[in-house]
Structure 1
Amino acid sequence: MNIPLQEFEQYIDETILNRGYKYFKKGLVAEPELMAHGEYEAIVEGTEDYTVRIRIENDTITEHSCTCPYDMGPVCKHVAAVIFELQQNELSLVKKAKKSSTTAKTVAKRKTIAEQVDEILEHLTSDDMKEILRGQCDRDRKFRQLFLAGYAHLVMPETKALYVKQVKAILKSSSDRHGFIDYSGARAVGIAIDEYIQTAGKHLEKANYKSAMLIAFAVMEEMTGALQYADDSNGDVGGSIYSAIEILYSVANAQVSEKLRVELLNYCLTAYSKGLYKGWDWHFTMLDLASKLVNNTSEAKQIHQLLDSIKSSGKSWDWDYTNAQQIRALLIRRTEGEEKATQYLEQNLSNAEFRKEIIEKAISAKDYRKAMALAEEGIKLNSKESPGLLDYWCDYLLQIAQLQNDRVNILKYARIQLISANRDKKPYFDILKKHIEPHQWEATLKMIIQDILSKNRWNGKPLVAMIYIWEENWNELLQIVKSDISLNTLDTYEKYLVKDFSDEISDMYQKAVLEYLEKNVSRDHYQIACRYIRRMIKMGAREKADYVVQMLRKLYPQRRALMEELKKV
C-alpha cells in the first residue's frame, strides 16, 4: 500500500495511528538512519525493541516493514510511530533549507549508511576485513550462518547437509525447551530464512546454480518438517517453502549444465516417489518441476509411470487427479509435440482447464460452432456439481456472440452474467446498455432489477445499488440505503449521496450510531462510532452530532471508555 507522507493519517487505521503517535510523543523512536537513498531504518521501543524499515519515493511511502508480530492490518503502531518521526524530520529539514537559502548557504548532503560503509571499506586493508569478519562470525551466529551460506562453496565441496545443518540451527534457536516454535518464534524463523533465501537469490544472479539449488532443498525439507511443530498461523514457515520452490523453478529455467539438470530432475522424482512432501501442495510441485526438466522419452516415461498411479476418485472435484492430468499434458507437449498434446486434451474434456484451452483454440481458429458446443456442454455438465465454472462457459458464449455480432445472444448472456456471475458486473452492464435501444433502456433496466432482486435474495441489493450508481440515479440509491440503515451501508454510499441529501444522510447516521452502540461495547467500537460522529460534524450536521453525543452520555454513563472517546469528539 502506497502512503503519501504528508497525508499518511488518512491511510492508517485511527486506533493504530493514535497508538503510534503516543510512541512518538514518548520518544520511543530512535532517530531513523538513512540506509540508502529513500530507505530508512529505526528502532522502536515496545514490548521488545522492534526494527522498522521504510522506503520513501517522491514523498510517498512505497514499502514498510516491522519485526513485531502484528498481523491484523497493513500498518502496525511501530511503523506509524516512525512515520510521525520521519514527517517531523522532513519538516525540520525543509525549514532549515529555507533558512539557509536566504543566507546563500547550502545544506550539507546527508550520507546514507550504505555510502558511509562503502567509504570505510575503501580505507580498510585485507587484514582488517578478515579480522572483522572472523570476529563477527564468532560473536553472531546468524551472521555466521549467512556468511557460510554465501561463501562456503568457495572452499569446500557443497552438500545439502551443510545447509540443512544451518537451517536446523535457525529452527532450534527459535524453539522452546519442548522443541515447539510459537507464533513469535515462527516470525523470527521466517525473517531469518528469508535472508537465507535472499542468499540463494544472489547465487542465482552469479550463476552459482548448484549453491542456490542446495539451499532451496535444505529450506524445503527442514521447513516442511517444522510445520509439524510450529505455530505458522501467520504463514512465515510455509511462505519460506514457496520462496525455496521459486528458486528451484528459476534454476530449472536457467541454462544449467546437463549434470545439474539431471541432479535436480532426480531430486524431484525421488522426493515424489518417497513422499517427502506428501500431504502438502508441493508434493505435486515436484512432478510439475520434473516435467519441465525432461528432455528425452526415457525421462518422460518415469514421470508417466508415477502419474499412472494417480487414479480418479470419481468426485466432481478431484484435485490430485486434475493436477496429474495437467502435468501429463505438459509432459506430452514437451516431449511429443503440440498435436499429441491437443489430442490428449480433447480426450479429457472433463478437466475444466482442458475444456477452456480447447474452446480458446477453436475461437482462435474461428470454429465458433465447435467452441459454442463445448461451452454449452460445459454448462450442462457443471450446472449442479460445479456451478462456479458456469461463469467461464457463459463468458465464452458471450465472447462468441460478440465476434459474430449476434445481438440476441449478446443480450442473453450479458444479462445472465450481470445477474448471476461471481465477478465484476460492470462489463456486462456496459454491454447491455450498448446493445439496447435508448428508448427501451429504462423499461429493460427495471425488468433486470426485478430479476436481480428475485434471484439474488441475499446480495441483490448491493448490485442494484451499483446499477443506480452507474446510472447516477441518486434518488433510487437513497431508497436502497434507507431500506438498510447501518454504518457499513452509509460508509459505502455516503460519498455518492451527501452532496444532494446531506440532511437525510446525517439523520441516518444519527440512527445508525445509536443502534451500533446498543450491541457493541468495546473501546474499538466506541472509536468507530466517534469517527462517524465526527463525519457528521464535517457534513455540517453539528446539532445532530451533539444530540447523538448527548444521548450516548445519557444512555451509557457507566461506559467509561465511551465517555473518554466522546470527549475527543
Structure 2
Amino acid sequence: MEMELSSFEKQINSTILQRGKVYYQKGQVESLGETEDGVWVAVVAGSDDYFVEIEISKKGSVGDYGCDCPYDGDLCKHVVAVLYAIRDEKAIAPEDVPKTTKKKTKLSFQKLLDNISSDELKAFIVQYSKKDSSFKSDLELFFAEKDENFDIEKQIKDQIRKAIKTYSKHEFIDYGSSGKLARELQKILMQGQYYLSKNNILNGSLLCMAYIQEVMPVITYADDSNGSIGDAIDSGISLLTDIAVQSPVDLKEKIAVYLNKELQQDLYFDYGDFGYDMTDLYAQLCLDLSKIDDFLHFADVAIHKARLDRYDYRSSFFIQIKASILQKGNRTEEVQQLIEQQIHLPQMRKVQVEKAIENERFEEAKELLV
C-alpha cells in the first residue's frame, strides 16, 4: 500500500485507523526509535506486546512495514498506532489540518532533549536509575567503552538471565512468552549492532559470544513453535560473523577458541542449523589465521563422533567442509585422498565425476555414476 506519512489516514480502513489511533492516544506505543536511517521500530502494548517495523523515506513516504501480531490483513492497528507516533516524533502536521487552526502541541522528543541542560539530564538519569535497574543496566552497557573496568560479559549475562526469569514459569517458556522473550533478546543484541556501527569490535564480539552462550540453552525448554527464539539465536550468530570478519588477528584467535569450545556441545546441532553456521565461521577464521590443521583436527573428531552416534547428515557435513578447507589451503593431494576415501557420499562422488569429465575421462565418469 503506497501512502505518505503526512496523509496515511486517507489510505487506511476507517475501523483499523480508529483502533490504531486509540492505541496511540492511550500511550501504548513503547520503545519507539529509529534503528537506522529511515527504519523505525516500536513495541505496541495490548492484549500482548507486538513488535512493529516501518520504513519511512526521507521524503516522508511509507515503505515496507510489518508487525508480528496474528492479524492476517494487509495493515493492522499496531502499525497505524506506530505511524501516528512516528509522525508526532518527526513533528509532521497531518495534511488535513489547516495551518490557521494549529493548536499548541507538546514538544517533540528531540526538541525536548534540546531544551534540557546537561545537569538536568544527569540529575534525571541518576534519579531514574534508582527506580529502574533495567534502565541503569542499559545505560552502563551503552557507554561500556567509557569504563575500562566494565565487565560487559557479566552485564549481558545478567540481563539475559533476568529476561529469561521474567518469561519462565516452572522452568518452561510457553508459546506466548517465547515471542516476548525473543523481542527482549533482540533488544539486547541491538547494542552489539551499535558497537559494530561505531567500530567497537572488541565489545561487540564480547557481547555476541556471551549472548549466544546464554541464549542457546533456552531453546531446550521453550515452546518455539513460532521460531522466534531460533531467530534470536540466528541473529546473534550472524552478528558475530559480521564482527569476526572485521576483527584484528588477536581477536579472531579469541573468537576461534570460543567457537571450538562451544561446538563441542551437541546442543548447537540438535535444535537447528546453529552449529553448522558456527562451524562455517570457525573454518573461515582458521583459514584467515593459517591454522588449517586446527580445523582439520576439529573436523576429524566431529566426523568420528557423528559416526558413533549414527548422525549421517552431520558426518557428511564435516567431511564436505573438511574437503573444502583442504582445497582452499591448496592441499590437493589430501583433498584427493579424502574424496577417494569418502566416494560413497553423493557430494564426494559428484566432485570426482566432474573432475573426470573435465579431464575427458568419460569412461571413469560413467563408472562413478553407476
Q: TM-score range by the shorter chain?
A: 0.7 to 0.9
Tell me the CA shift for residue 65 of structure 1. Answer: 4.2
1:4 and 2:2 are equivalent in the alignment: yes
Tell me the CA shift for residue 311 of structure 1. Answer: 5.2
Tell me the CA shift for residue 118 of structure 1. Answer: 5.8
1:230 and 2:222 are equivalent in the alignment: yes
TM-aligned CA distance change 1:302 to 1:31, over 3 Å: same
1:138 and 2:130 are equivalent in the alignment: yes
Report the number of matched residues. Answer: 350
Whether the aligned pair in 1 keeps the contact of 2:303 and 2:314 (CA below 8 Å) is: no
TM-score, normalising length from structure 2?
A: 0.72
Map residues 77-116 of structure 1 onto 2, 5 A cutoff: 77-79=76-78, 81-82=80-81, 93-95=94-96, 113=108, 115-116=110-111
- Cα distance in 1 for partners of 2:293, 2:44 equals 59
- Cα distance in 2 for partners of 1:50, 1:304 equals 42
If asked which structure has higher relative contact order (CA below 8 Å, sep 6+), I would say: 2
TM-aligned CA distance change 1:261 to 1:112, over 3 Å: farther
Deviation by residue 1:484-538 (Cα, 9 ceiling, x = unmatched) = xxxxxxxxxxxxxxxxxxxxxxxxxxxxxxxxxxxxxxxxxxxxxxxxxxxxxxx
Map residues 397-436 of structure 1 onto 2, 5 A cutoff: none
Match of 1:268 among 239, 259, 270: 259
Deviation by residue 1:312-331 (Cα, 9 ceiling, x = unmatched) = 5899x931112111221233
In structure 2, the partner of 1:321 is: 315
TM-score, normalising length from structure 1?
A: 0.50
In structure 2, the partner of 1:47 is: 47
Tell me the CA shift for residue 237 of structure 1. Answer: 1.3
In structure 2, the partner of 1:23 is: 19
Question: 1:309 is paired with a residue of what secondary structure?
Answer: helix
1:188 and 2:180 are equivalent in the alignment: yes
Tell me the CA shift for residue 152 of structure 1. Answer: 3.4
1:240 and 2:232 are equivalent in the alignment: yes
Whether the aligned pair in 1 keeps the contact of 2:326 and 2:335 (CA below 8 Å) is: no
Question: 1:55 is paired with a residue of what secondary structure?
Answer: strand
Deviation by residue 1:84-112 (Cα, 9 ceiling, x = unmatched) = 969x99x984355xx77xxxx9x9xx999
Question: Aligned AA for 2:114?
Answer: E
Question: 2:171 is paired with a residue of what secondary structure?
Answer: coil
Whether the aligned pair in 2 keeps the contact of 1:160 and 1:215 (CA below 8 Å) is: yes
TM-aligned CA distance change 1:153 to 1:277, over 3 Å: farther
TM-aligned CA distance change 1:345 to 1:5, over 3 Å: farther
Question: 1:194 is paired with a residue of what secondary structure?
Answer: helix
Tell me the CA shift for residue 370 of structure 1. Answer: 5.8
Over the matched positions of the two proteins, sequence identity in percent amounts to 20
- Cα distance in 1 for partners of 2:216, 2:43 equals 32
Whether the aligned pair in 2 keeps the contact of 1:31 and 1:42 (CA below 8 Å) is: no
TM-aligned CA distance change 1:369 to 1:93, over 3 Å: same
Q: CA RMSD for the aligned pairs?
A: 4.7
Question: 1:62 is paired with a residue of what secondary structure?
Answer: strand
Where do 5+ consecutive residues of structure 2 fail to align? none
- Cα distance in 2 for partners of 1:300, 1:45 equals 47
Map residues 156-555 of structure 1 onto 2, 5 A cutoff: 156=149, 158=151, 160-176=153-169, 178-256=170-248, 258-275=249-266, 277-280=268-271, 281-294=273-286, 295-296=290-291, 298-310=293-305, 312=307, 318-334=312-328, 336-337=329-330, 339-340=332-333, 343=336, 346-347=339-340, 348=342, 350-354=344-348, 367=358, 369=360
